[in-house]
Structure 1
Amino acid sequence: MVSSSNLGFPRMGENRDLKKIVEAYWAGKVDEVEFSNTIKSIRAKHWTLQKETGINIIPSNDFSLYDHVLDHVLLFGAIPKRYEPVVESEVEDNSNGFRTYFAMARGYQTKKAASEVAATETEGAFATKVEKKIDVGSFEMKKWFDTNYHYMVPEFEAEQQFKLTNHAGYTAPKPVHEFLEAKALGIETRPVILGPISFLLLGKSADSNKPYTTKFDSLVHLEALVKVYEQLFEQLVAAGVKSVQIDEPVLCFDLLEDTTRADLIKNAFSVAYNRIHKVAPTVNILIATYFGEVRENIELITSLPINGVHIDRVRSSSAAFDAVLAKIPSTWTVSIGIIEGRNIWKNNLNNSIIVVKKAIDLFGSERVIVSPSCSLLHSPHSLAKEVGYVKAEVLDWLAFAVEKLKEIAFLAFVFNSCTVSVADNQVTNVESNNVRKVSKLIHNDTVKSRVNAVTPEMFKRINKYPVRRDAQRKRLTTLPDLFPTTTIGSFPQTQQVRVARQNYKSKKITAQEYDQFIRSEIKACVQLQEECGLDVLVHGEFERNDMVEYFGENLEGFVFTANGWVQSYGSRCVKPPIIYGDVHRPNPMTLEYTSFAQTLTAKPMKGMLTGPVTILQWSFVRDDQTRSQTCNQIALAIRDEVVDLETAGIAVVQIDEPAIREGLPLRHSDWNIYLEWAVNSFLLSSTGVKDSTQIHSHMCYSDFNDIFESIQNMDCDVLTIENSKSDLKLLKAFEKYGYTNEIGPGLYDIHSPRIPSVEDMKNRVEQMLKYLPANLLWVNPDCGLKTNNPVTVKHALVNMVKVAVELRAAFSKSE
């Protein structure tokens, strides 16, 4: 009998229930009892839904309040020493552990600490009863492989110790507790645990001054960590767990490429899994790989004492998948990731049946599991609320998480039953896929012709950067010679802004009333920036729901959902557009409000755009043509917008590309092809202007060091980049490669409720000056301010401008 399984379910809930209760808890609107009960009910609902949909193997421990990697940090007691004051404050307050967990996620600052860096107290969550000064930042945040999900990076000290720890309010370690919680509902689950090798390799040194010399050095902590895994598995066995899914996504990396490290990697896997097997010989262990091909790593996998492996068939070529199948022991269970977990198109069931049949012929039906390619964390919840909202023809082509579960259950059912309903479902599926192929909604000959007419000259600015810099300084006469200040673009979207947008969409207010409201918000935002003393201003983006969704709404070839939310990090959700057809721009998208904002100030007003690669990466993308073709269509649309802004007198235009690194393939051998078309798409979008127009770009929350030369090739006049969560490690790239254009490494973490002090930010600039000349350095936050508190934003920006003013004074005295 073929089994059906799921590797993980979206955490947020049908109506973003988790987001709402977490943010209510942060704001002090619900107590810990209500908080705990609500999140427990969300878990129960999701387990029950999967069971009722026909999934045989249901995951547990895939649920998280913020991030599953951070959950494992807490599970293994790997809490850095700087959080000890937070832990102590919880003991004194008789709290239950949520404060420490969220401090690692978001940072933590008591009111007493906040009052020392601001004129008034801030609205801080979890303020301690004892008025101590506690001010600690969050973990670094990084993209989860090549997805738009962000994980919190574990930190390991030189003499790192681990211990098995219970989460807040739990009576056992989280994987054990949630397994028993589901069991009490009559649902047998398969706990999901991040594997020891992936956990270590995804971490970093806790000493930012002494980073690991290679990405494998964290394996020195394997012995200490495996002891805790042994304790965990002993408790899982005692709880009655029959099978465990251990996620080792690093097995899709080039782990064995460095021959000097290959034996170290092999030994680490061998030690870890032999010891786990020894303490839990009765537990069926399935290693889950995803996001790419395992290729040569299958030899390593099959050397381990495990019972099965999950292979991402969606991200594997047919030849690569067949090669892997041929090497898997015939006694193992094989989980086939045949349903796309990261995109939203309906599965081609006929093609999938052929793939599953091939595995059954090799292993027998009892040893084959039909699964999604990866956790459904990356998919929206369900299509239930899209009926009547999404075009009916397009809706028929889609499948969200709940629908994907049904596809999984159906594929298993095909091989376990031969009924009329099976044939009917297959016929309906074939019809949907065939209609999509020839739909007139998809194809636009004019757009295709324009992309085909792109020439190499369209990927270049008129002159090199030094010539452009002179032209821009002559035009931007209000800019200071040193340390100009700006923000990344968005300002806080308050409840008032969100209500106004909703009222406009529901036709409770007219278009004219909404326009007047947006203009009043822009005016207030410009006034605030003038008061803070910023040099290059922004209009605040109050008309924009999301940096990608907004542009998609103004481009042809996109469709939008009512409830297609996906978790990006913590409680932050995004609603990715769906690119279903050829993309083009029917009308200007940002010109009206940017031009209006410029009339309110004599300082430069920065036009704010999202770049083509980021729009591509943060959308659900059509799968019937190459991603590079789609990206160039978007790039031409953005190019038109940039030229219109320049023509309207806007002297500074920012084209954000925070996602360019996340699109990088997991295998080094695949990098060059991607980087060539991704960089060219950005250049295509940005090079249609005169030398005197200053082009900015922004990037965040990724490892950029290994693609630094490609970033240089993007040839931005000014690059602002996230730097506050990553311990200044990006600056090492400047030391190695050099950088000739202007750059603004972020001075403070906008996702934290903390107010950064002048001293802290000034120290960061001083560190930057070791690698960058002062005349190239900008002063700015690390990301957009959309999700921040308006009071915190003002204090932070005032302090940031003070840093720039003090540095200018210091440098003028030294000359």
Structure 2
Amino acid sequence: MLKHNLGFPRIGRHRELKIACENYWAGHIDLITLFEVGKKIRKENWNFQIKSNLDLIPCNDFSFYDHVLDLSLLIGTIPEKYLNPKFDNKMDLYFSMARGYQNNNFDIKAMDMTKWFNTNYHYIVPEFIKEQKFFIYSKKIFDEIEELKLILNSSDKIKPVLIGPVSYLYLGKENDTSFNKMDLIENILTVYIEIIDTLSSKNIKWIQLDEPILSLDLSDREKNCIQYAYRKIYKYFNNHDIKILLTSYFDGISENLYLFEEFFTYIDAIHIDLIEDPNQLDKVLSFIKESNIILSIGIIDGRNIWKNKYINSLKKIEKSINSIGEDRVMIAPNCSLLHVPIDLKYEKSIHINIKNKMSFARQKIEELNDLEKIIKGKNNILLNNSSIINDLKKSNIIHNNKIKKRSYDISDKDIKRISNFSKRQKKQHKAFNLPLFPTTTIGSFPQTKEIRIIRNKFIKKKLCKKEYEKKIKQFISEVIKKQEDLGLDVLVHGEFERNDMVEFFSEKLNGMLSTNNGWVQSYGSRCVKPPIIYGDVSRSEKITTNWICYAQSKTKKLVKGMLTGPVTILKWSFVRDDQSIDQTAYQIAWAIRDEVIDLEKSGIKIIQIDEPALREGLPLKKKNWGGYFNWSIRSFHIASSGVKDETQIHTHMCYSEFNDIIKQISNLDADVITIESSRSNMELLKIFSRFSYPNEIGPGIYDIHSPRIPTEKEIFNLIKKASNFLPKRNIWINPDCGLKTRTWNEVLQSINNMVKAAKIARIKLG
């Protein structure tokens, strides 16, 4: 039985990669220094996994920004516009694709970015042209293999990781409608065969090809591509020593299992996710029993932080061994550990009973060792594990019957607004008297070094509460003045008291906690600390109301209340595993509803309840969508429905493909939805137009994830394009996301251009 890992976090134990990348972008360090940081992180990751007795060590799972973008660079999927500036090195080209590039001679937007399946990780979307040619452009994968060889003094344990050819095509997009990206399968296989051939020549024994699309509802064309791709790869490599491990994760492969009938002579091993779909094991074992294929079972949860229940994992291991033999079984986490923090030992403030039940990336690797030891007879490890997990089953740290009752007792009145949208809209327009194309922002403004220092001092008790609140109020007053000077119509308070849109709420809600160092990569250098939902959730006091009301006291213009929605708090947290997810969602929704009502009572007329995670939380298979939308939309309604018609409810969603869920988005019945559509050049709005979406929309008029400054002309053109799809009276003008990661210089220029463009649009389009 082999132990292996699909991938390891790459940000460094103390976010060294984030710091190095941002210093490089700012010109504070050179490329050599940046590469040294990357090399140090890789070495540390590898050494830990080697000392943990893994039989196969993943390689090429490290990335300076995004592993999908790495593959695009590796195989030359580089749009021509990024080659025009003639960058001095490939890393600057690479970063320009991710972040855009702007100087006196060139102004290039960043490539599209979207969510990695149903996770909170974002990847850079590959762009394909008709008859795209692929070739080896970057040597990163080969260089990292040589690094690991020097540590291991051998190639035997090295397992390079690559996204499979069909999943890579699936994740990309065509630059026009004259072809289908799956038409490129023949071209892309040529470069994959060249890569695998090169790996084989370096005496690599295993290669991991990730095909996560096997967990999806596939079209006939995609299924045919899968079969064609691996038939061709096998035909080329059937006499080579290299073994291919085909991996899939985030759901089961039962519906696509028949594709593998032919595969058993084409691949050496297959990995399945038994965390997301434990019920598939019997079917998979039965299917492969008469073959020689090795089965890798994903039994450690790579997307949550709770300790593995060894008794459950042992049953799966023993069933697999009894069915196909120990020499045909591998054990691993269900997916890459990219999605969890690195090391639990850095957490000093978590209640010991809760901490004992937790497991981060390093601990998850150690759990593989524990399972192997138990199989070899060390039953004390199993007894200790069972004791820890059972200790909290009845603990009042976890359970509160009063909160549970509230989440069960939900009436129709609790989940409906008083009037329908058309009636609410008339009342709101009369009350607010806003101009056509009203301008606003999504919520946050730059989190400067000064703000972070003050917050850090307060957390470490080096600054008293009174002095801290005085400083935050000063920042709020300043940002209100800046917004008034810019001419924005609806203002925000800037969120200076918040470290993160979810973590901030976790620190104010019972049943949730935040970590000291539980960082996880969201995209590029952007890292977040997902909170941990360990018990029943409730609100014991006002969370945002005092800050919002202070901001409103500083202006005659409308100020939005800013809240994070229940689905997003749930999806961007590590969620308890001892009760159904809908009940946890309802508990959070009631806590947010309490805050919404307090904001309204305090005179706040516009309240934004952000739900950027609603789309990403969607199950991968359509057969499971109904149950998900039942509780997720119900949760939003609980949070938002306790207000008067005149109170306007906004929501915000990130990088969402709405084509297949537009009806459900409409069912949210938010008065205004803001979305990210600038990178797609407003193409996202077509579905809202075809659906005749009735409510108001802020289509995200410029991309905040890039440092480039949008021009007044390009923003006006996007407003004009949006007005071709939507009724003008329903369009809001705003950036596509919060501004906390941008500099004040970038923000002031961009918002100024946005407001000017909106004013021109009122004249020319009104």
**Residue number among 73, 95, 107 corresponding to 1:102 in the alignment:** 95
**Corresponding residue of 1:713:** 667
Instruction: Quote the Cα distance in structure 1 between the aligned partners of 2:270 and 2:317.
Output: 15
**Residue number among 238, 252, 256 corresponding to 1:297 in the alignment:** 256
**Corresponding residue of 1:155:** 127
**Corresponding residue of 1:235:** 198
**Corresponding residue of 1:122:** none
- Kindly indicate whether residue 148 of structure 2 is the aligned counterpart of residue 182 of structure 1: yes
Instruction: Quote the Cα distance in structure 2 between the aligned partners of 1:379 and 1:52.
Output: 20
Instruction: Quote the Cα distance in structure 2 between the aligned partners of 1:333 and 1:591.
Output: 57
**Corresponding residue of 1:134:** 106
SS at match of 1:409: helix
Instruction: Quote the Cα distance in structure 1 between the aligned partners of 2:99 and 2:107.
Output: 12
- Kindly indicate whether residue 230 of structure 2 is the aligned counterpart of residue 273 of structure 1: yes
**Residue number among 378, 389, 399 corresponding to 1:443 in the alignment:** 399
Question: What residue identity is the alignment partner of 1:70?
Answer: L
Judged with a 3 Å threshold, the aligned counterparts in structure 2 of structure 1 residues 75 and 445 are, in CA distance, closer, same or farther, namely same
- Kindly indicate whether residue 381 of structure 2 is the aligned counterpart of residue 425 of structure 1: yes
Question: What residue identity is the alignment partner of 2:124?
Answer: M
How do 1:166-245 residues align onto structure 2 when only pairs under 5 Å count?
166=138, 173-186=139-152, 188-207=157-176, 210=177, 217-245=180-208
Instruction: Quote the Cα distance in structure 2 between the aligned partners of 1:682 and 1:295.
Output: 32
CA shift, 1:788, in A, is 0.7
SS at match of 1:200: helix
Instruction: Quote the Cα distance in structure 2 between the aligned partners of 1:698 and 1:65.
Output: 29
Instruction: Quote the Cα distance in structure 2 between the aligned partners of 1:346 and 1:306.
Output: 32
**Corresponding residue of 1:378:** 339
Question: What residue identity is the alignment partner of 2:133?
Answer: Q
Question: What residue identity is the alignment partner of 1:432?
Answer: I
- Kindly indicate whether residue 329 of structure 2 is the aligned counterpart of residue 368 of structure 1: yes
Question: What residue identity is the alignment partner of 1:186?
Answer: L
**Corresponding residue of 2:560:** 606
- Kindly indicate whether residue 432 of structure 2 is the aligned counterpart of residue 476 of structure 1: yes
**Residue number among 410, 418, 434 corresponding to 2:370 in the alignment:** 410
Judged with a 3 Å threshold, the aligned counterparts in structure 2 of structure 1 residues 278 and 184 are, in CA distance, closer, same or farther, namely farther
Aligned partners of 1:226 and 1:272 also within 8 Å: yes
Aligned partners of 1:745 and 1:782 also within 8 Å: yes
Instruction: Quote the Cα distance in structure 1 between the aligned partners of 2:407 and 2:700.
Output: 35
SS at match of 1:79: coil
CA shift, 1:350, in A, is 1.4
Instruction: Quote the Cα distance in structure 2 between the aligned partners of 1:211 and 1:626.
Output: 46
**Corresponding residue of 1:467:** 423
C-alpha distance after superposition, 1:229-288 (max 9, x if no partner): 111111111111111010000000011xxxxx52x3343223322332233332110100
CA shift, 1:71, in A, is 0.7
Aligned partners of 1:370 and 1:411 also within 8 Å: no
**Corresponding residue of 2:535:** 581
Instruction: Quote the Cα distance in structure 1 between the aligned partners of 2:229 and 2:312.
Output: 37
Question: What residue identity is the alignment partner of 1:191?
Answer: P
SS at match of 1:361: helix
C-alpha distance after superposition, 1:488-547 (max 9, x if no partner): 000010111111111111111111111111011101111110111000000000000000
Aligned partners of 2:42 and 2:62 also within 8 Å: yes
**Corresponding residue of 1:307:** 268
Instruction: Quote the Cα distance in structure 1 between the aligned partners of 2:536 and 2:374.
Output: 35
Name whichever of 447-456 and 601-610 sits farther off: 447-456
Instruction: Quote the Cα distance in structure 1 between the aligned partners of 2:648 and 2:277.
Output: 42
- Kindly indicate whether residue 522 of structure 2 is the aligned counterpart of residue 568 of structure 1: yes
CA shift, 1:728, in A, is 2.1
Aligned partners of 1:718 and 1:744 also within 8 Å: yes
Instruction: Quote the Cα distance in structure 2 between the aligned partners of 1:355 and 1:233.
Output: 32
- Kindly indicate whether residue 76 of structure 2 is the aligned counterpart of residue 77 of structure 1: yes
Question: What residue identity is the alignment partner of 1:204?
Answer: K
Instruction: Quote the Cα distance in structure 1 between the aligned partners of 2:233 and 2:525.
Output: 34
Question: What residue identity is the alignment partner of 2:337?
Answer: L
Question: What residue identity is the alignment partner of 1:414?
Answer: I
**Corresponding residue of 1:657:** 611
How do 1:607-626 residues align onto structure 2 when only pairs under 5 Å count?
607-626=561-580
CA shift, 1:211, in A, is 8.1
CA shift, 1:414, in A, is 3.0
CA RMSD, 1 decimal: 1.2
CA shift, 1:176, in A, is 2.1
**Corresponding residue of 1:322:** 282
Question: How many residues end up aligned between the 2 structures?
Answer: 758
**Residue number among 271, 283, 300 corresponding to 1:339 in the alignment:** 300
Instruction: Quote the Cα distance in structure 1 between the aligned partners of 2:585 and 2:247.
Output: 31
SS at match of 2:270: strand
Question: What residue identity is the alignment partner of 1:148?
Answer: N
**Corresponding residue of 2:707:** 753
Aligned partners of 2:285 and 2:324 also within 8 Å: no
Instruction: Quote the Cα distance in structure 2 between the aligned partners of 1:590 and 1:268.
Output: 51
Report the identity percentage: 47
Question: What residue identity is the alignment partner of 2:301?
Answer: E
How do 1:785-796 residues align onto structure 2 when only pairs under 5 Å count?
785-796=739-750
Judged with a 3 Å threshold, the aligned counterparts in structure 2 of structure 1 residues 302 and 185 are, in CA distance, closer, same or farther, namely farther
C-alpha distance after superposition, 1:566-606 (max 9, x if no partner): 11111101101100100000001001110000010000000
Question: What residue identity is the alignment partner of 1:455?
Answer: S
Question: What residue identity is the alignment partner of 2:194?
Answer: Q
**Corresponding residue of 1:26:** 25
Instruction: Quote the Cα distance in structure 2 between the aligned partners of 1:335 and 1:303.
Output: 19
Instruction: Quote the Cα distance in structure 1 between the aligned partners of 2:543 and 2:746.
Output: 30
Aligned partners of 1:743 and 1:778 also within 8 Å: yes
Instruction: Quote the Cα distance in structure 1 between the aligned partners of 2:422 and 2:170.
Output: 41
**Corresponding residue of 1:456:** 412
Instruction: Quote the Cα distance in structure 1 between the aligned partners of 2:737 and 2:260.
Output: 40
CA shift, 1:626, in A, is 1.1
**Corresponding residue of 2:349:** 389
Aligned partners of 1:54 and 1:406 also within 8 Å: no
CA shift, 1:735, in A, is 2.7
Instruction: Quote the Cα distance in structure 1 between the aligned partners of 2:107 and 2:561.
Output: 35
CA shift, 1:61, in A, is 0.5
**Corresponding residue of 2:217:** 254
C-alpha distance after superposition, 1:355-397 (max 9, x if no partner): 10111112211121110010000010010111x3111110011
Judged with a 3 Å threshold, the aligned counterparts in structure 2 of structure 1 residues 325 and 727 are, in CA distance, closer, same or farther, namely farther
C-alpha distance after superposition, 1:34-93 (max 9, x if no partner): 11111111101100011112211110011111111111111110101221223x2x2xxx
**Corresponding residue of 2:58:** 59
Q: Structure 1 stretches of 5 or more lacking a match?
A: 113-132, 167-172, 256-260
Instruction: Quote the Cα distance in structure 1 between the aligned partners of 2:715 and 2:352.
Output: 52
Instruction: Quote the Cα distance in structure 2 between the aligned partners of 1:265 and 1:700.
Output: 27
Aligned partners of 1:233 and 1:276 also within 8 Å: no
Instruction: Quote the Cα distance in structure 2 between the aligned partners of 1:76 and 1:811.
Output: 45
SS at match of 2:511: strand
Aligned partners of 2:374 and 2:381 also within 8 Å: no
Aligned partners of 1:697 and 1:716 also within 8 Å: yes
How do 1:4-23 residues align onto structure 2 when only pairs under 5 Å count?
4-23=3-22
Instruction: Quote the Cα distance in structure 2 between the aligned partners of 1:70 and 1:412.
Output: 36
Give the TM-score of the pair, scaled to structure 2. Answer: 0.97
Aligned partners of 1:234 and 1:279 also within 8 Å: no
